[in-house]
Amino acid sequence: MSNIWTITKRELAGYFNSPVAYVFLVIFLLMTGAFTFLLTQFIENRQATLRMFFYWHPWLYLFLVPAVGMRLWSEERRLGTMELLLTMPISLWHCIIGKFLASWIFLTLALALTFPIWITVSYLGDPDHNMIFTSYIGSFFLAGAYLSITSMTSAFTRNQVISFILSVVICLFLVLCGYPPVTDNVEVVAPRAFVEFVAAFSVIPNVEQFNDGQIDSRSIIYFLSVIGFPLFATNVIIRGLRA
């Protein structure tokens, strides 16, 4: 565990040693605020709820999370420090988990900085705090799922732009395959059983469970699986590079 924490601190410090982290935080907060208070007409609706705030997270994370994670391994390969990292007397899994946790903590910090929105809603009305809390948990897992996919694509190529595009495409599939407007149209040309099978891989129904105020063990298992499999694939890809 000490090795993992050492790598996590090193990677996390790397974010804040450059202005990129601060630019990302500002962009994230501006976009979440704009989507919540402007696009959804929050004030005009006079409803003390953050449901629409969390509704946009699968779409916001679609671009913001890959932007954070695309450098995880691509940067190491581009700078030629991958070989040095792999020769260090630590497990490859320690490196993978440490890098992943550093980026996940950074994204969690960005999410935590939206807390004033919760305070604003509480001031304007009497929201369901349990529902907001579980929605934050769902958003936390969603960011981790997107990030693990980005870790895999980052290990696959030394080009950060390619890593970004690949992760966006994969994450977009996980959104659209369960997005009601898409599934309703697909049902016209495909059997319902097939549509339901594909939709089971979507993040949308599982995020909505949290947004409805429910912490379902099936949704937690889903997100842990989505996080675990790409990290395992990352391990396989990097071991192939080592060979």
d(CA 141, CA 154): 20
| Contact present, 131 and 211 (Cβ < 8 Å) | yes
d(CA 57, CA 50): 11
Distance CA 83, CA 21 (A): 26
- The two tokens of residue 158 are 């030394």
pLDDT in tens, the chain (243 residues): 677 888 888 888 888 887 888 888 898 888 887 777 776 666 556 666 777 788 889 999 999 999 998 888 887 777 767 767 767 777 888 889 999 999 999 999 999 999 888 888 888 777 788 888 999 999 999 999 999 999 999 988 888 899 999 999 999 999 888 777 777 777 777 777 777 777 788 898 889 899 888 888 889 999 999 999 999 999 998 888 765
Q: In terms of DSSP H, where are the helices of the chain? A: 2-16, 20-34, 42-45, 51-55, 57-69, 71-79, 82-86, 92-112, 115-124, 129-156, 160-176, 180-186, 192-199, 204-211, 217-242
Distance of CA 177 to the CA centre of its chain: 17
**Distance in angstroms (rounded) separating the CA atoms of residues 5 and 2:** 5
Q: What is d(CA 42, CA 30) in angstroms, rounded to the nearest whole number?
A: 15
The amino acid at 137: I
pLDDT tens readout for residues 17-36: 878 888 888 988 888 877 77
C-alpha dihedral sign at 49, 51, 56, 62: positive
Least Cα distance to 140 among 36, 236, 52, 65 occurs for: 65
Supply the range of the domain harboring residue 91.
2-242
Total structural domains within the chain: 1
